[in-house]
Chains A and B, each alone.
Chain A
Amino acid sequence: MDFLLSQLAGFGVALTALIVDPLTYVYLVTSVFLGITFGALPGLTATLAVTILTGFFGNKIPLDYSMIALLGAYVGAIYGGSYPSILLNIPGTAASAATAMDGHPLSKAGRGGEALGLATTASFIGTLIGTVALLIFVWVLLLISKNIASPEKALLALFGILLSGTLMSEDLVIKGWIAGLIGLAMAMVGMDPLLSEPRYTFGWSYMLSGFQVVPVLMGAFAVPQIIEGLRHLELGKMVALQGRILPNLAAVKRHMPTITRSGVIGTGVGALPGVGEDVAGWVSYGVGKTVSKDGKNFGKGSLEGMLSSETANNACIGGALIPLLVLGIPGSPPAAALMGAFKINNVIPGPTIDPAIILRVVAILVLASFTMWILGLFTARVFIKILRIPQTVFLPVVMVLTAIGSFSVGGGINDLYLMLGVGFVAYFMNLMKYPIAPLVIGVILGGLFDETFRRALFLSDGSLGVFVSRPGAAVLLALNIALIAAQIPMVRRPFQRRNRKEV
């Protein structure tokens, strides 16, 4: 009880500090507005919003304010994806793909206002559920993670890369792993962290400091999207918004069980390393379809169906920040971009993170979700107008933003070359259905993996037993092996046969 009270007191102090600072509102309203705009425009994603703002705000303003800008954009963009999903049947972000299944039929039936109002409120409550979970679990996990040493850190980093590769592959799982390995390989460039041995620099002094996170982020997430999005596209006819957007309290109360369930599912999925809001939305939609009384109407214009995915994708934000803040492993692709912002500010997320930062993150998320709710309910028609901007007009400006953002982070013109190179590679990887998030997570965690893996071996005089003699490490090693073994046909066959017999 004391623990909970001290947490709440700390949160209260952080929230008050934010509320009394007038600059908070400038960054908050601007970033949430920008985030919703990015989410609402098909072709621009939440990851892109956070990535571009990382280049722009990452190290140019104090970290306290850049966190407001980045988290505000993150919350806004995940919610913003619901606009084109509901009105155009085109998901603004991958996270809102499941929302379109029921949101669009609802708006075609003349219930667009009601759908948008409830989606806004559900996103708000979902973000709050994820934030409460973040406030509670981050501390519990931080207490446990104090016992984490090099072997566990190395295996955790590997687990994060493998898991994101496994869960984010659209085609073959090995493509996700290959993407993760490419990221890890990129992290090996430069001086090695223990002996300062130069690796793969090819005599170019710029490479001695390794690949910088921001240009890699920009290249991996922004450039392929710009290349892919610069094509003529008929958006289709937008359904005119009918009905009142402001939801009535009775409707919200009626759907509260669905919202709460989806919030919890979204938070749980988000807490898995490397798994993003899109997976959260689909998992929650699938569960909703099974357990809801209205399940048979999912896909035909069910409010429950729409709320299942829309609540979960926003709740995922709080969940995705748990592994980021506790272990330094991003829980989703936008969280990977956030980690980039932490890194360029010399903040290392993980067991040693300053507790004040966690409390501030929680307070920002609460204010950002509230701002998103207000903007969503009262300025929805502005965002609907923005929806009409073709991406061929918006993306060239994004390219200029990307270039100047990447340039100004520190590496100058070489960072731009790196960004473009990574961008072309990522475009072809997208074309061949390789997920990009494991690559970025590999780049971010590669240094940590290299350092902790070798340190663990160094401390045990080269004995591999160090990875099984410690209980935490043994569990993580088992998880890593299970994850790989689950994809080997020889191992899978007996399980599949047993499952068939049970059916």
Chain B
Amino acid sequence: MTTKESTHPAEAEKRNAQLILRARDFWAALVLMGLSIFFLWRTSFIPLWGENRAGVSGGDWYNSAALVPLGIFSAMFILSLILLRIAWRDGGAKQALSPLGIGWSKTEALRFATLAVILFFYIAGLVPRVDFILCSGLLITALIFGFHGGYAYRMVLVAAAVGLAGLYAMVMNLPRAHWTQHDDDWLVLTIWFALTVWVLLADRGSRLARVIPVIALLAPTLLVCAMAFGFRQNVPNRGGLIFKQIEYHYYVTLKPIWSGK
């Protein structure tokens, strides 16, 4: 077997990839099994046999709201058992606990973890609480600078920058009633400005470094204005630091000019 693997590196690589996949399948099967059992238990809360609720009959079993979910989660449980058997048979269980078996390299783990931090704090922390132009400008700057060259320290740096801004917004202005406050807007503006300066210094003379601030400013501004004034749709955080000014001048300064009022 060893000789064979050494003489056919492509085949060995294929076999290795298959092992990694089966190790992941082993974990996935366990997660799916747990989820299907949990949801089968939750389904038991929905009346199946026509129970009475507040004196009203819930109907027959074939009309129950639990019928289809019961089928779905039972099928998922059976399929997860089959997947577990396949993973076990193909050696996935043996590899399941080794980092190589999971196929999780350090570089890839860092890339994913930093991206997950950035996306989580952008969506959960910044978009609801901070001006959309500011937080999206920070996001664009962070993602381009952090992930363009594949440098680990840049990924960590930008994740820390977005994470700090997001964490501050979440901690200081957690309840919806605080979402209109501007302290987090100022912090994001400062971090964005500092990161832009860092980008310009780190990649001095590069064309990309000069383009990043332009894209980071123009893209979200154009998008949010098109959405709010072109399509007349709701946009995140209308009371944000910059958008509030744009909206005011759109309706008070600009619109009367072309409406002839």
Question: Which residues of A are at the interface with B, using a C-beta cutoff of 8 A?
Answer: 56, 60-61, 171-172, 174-175, 177-178, 181-182, 184-185, 188, 192, 194-195, 197, 199-200, 223, 227, 230-232, 390, 392-393, 395-397, 399-401, 403-404, 407-408, 412-413, 416-417, 419-420, 423-424, 431-433, 449-450, 453-454, 457-458, 461-462
- Residues of A within 8 Å of B128, CB to CB, are 413
- Residues of B within 8 Å of A400, CB to CB, are 136, 139-140, 219-220, 223
7 A-B pairs with least C-beta separation: A232-B150, A192-B65, A396-B143, A197-B65, A457-B62, A60-B231, A462-B62
Q: How far is the CA of A380 from the CA of B155 in the complex (A)?
A: 36
Q: Nearest Cβ distance between residue B69 and chain A, in whole angstroms?
A: 5
Question: Which residues of B are at the interface with A, using a C-beta cutoff of 8 A?
Answer: 21, 24-25, 28, 32, 39, 42, 46-47, 58-65, 67-69, 72-73, 75-76, 79-80, 82-83, 86, 111-112, 115-116, 119-120, 122-124, 127-128, 132, 136, 139-140, 143-144, 147-150, 208, 211, 215, 219-220, 223-224, 227, 231-236
- Residues of B within 8 Å of A458, CB to CB, are 60, 62-63
Complex contact B79–A181 (CB within 8 A): yes
- Residues of B within 8 Å of A417, CB to CB, are 123-124
The tally of CB-CB contacts under 8 A between chains A and B is 161
Q: How far is the CA of A174 from the CA of B224 in the complex (A)?
A: 42
Q: How far is the CA of A412 from the CA of B234 in the complex (A)?
A: 8
Complex contact A174–B79 (CB within 8 A): yes
Residue on B nearest A434 in the bound complex, by CB: B28
Q: Nearest Cβ distance between residue B171 and chain A, in whole angstroms?
A: 18
Contact of A194 among B42, B63, B112, B136 (CB under 8 A): B63
Given contacts A178-B76, A199-B69, contact A393 B148 (CB under 8 A): yes
Complex contact A61–B63 (CB within 8 A): no
Q: Nearest Cβ distance between residue B21 and chain A, in whole angstroms?
A: 6
- Residues of B within 8 Å of A192, CB to CB, are 65
Q: How far is the CA of A157 from the CA of B61 in the complex (A)?
A: 22
- Residues of B within 8 Å of A454, CB to CB, are 62-64, 67-68
Complex contact A408–B83 (CB within 8 A): no
Contact of A449 among B60, B68, B139 (CB under 8 A): B68
Q: How far is the CA of A175 from the CA of B29 in the complex (A)?
A: 10
A174-B86, A432-B28 known; 19 new pairs, CB 8 Å cut-off, are A171-B21, A184-B72, A185-B39, A185-B72, A195-B58, A230-B147, A393-B144, A393-B148, A399-B139, A407-B234, A408-B227, A412-B234, A417-B123, A420-B120, A420-B123, A423-B119, A454-B62, A457-B62, A457-B63
- Residues of A within 8 Å of B112, CB to CB, are 227
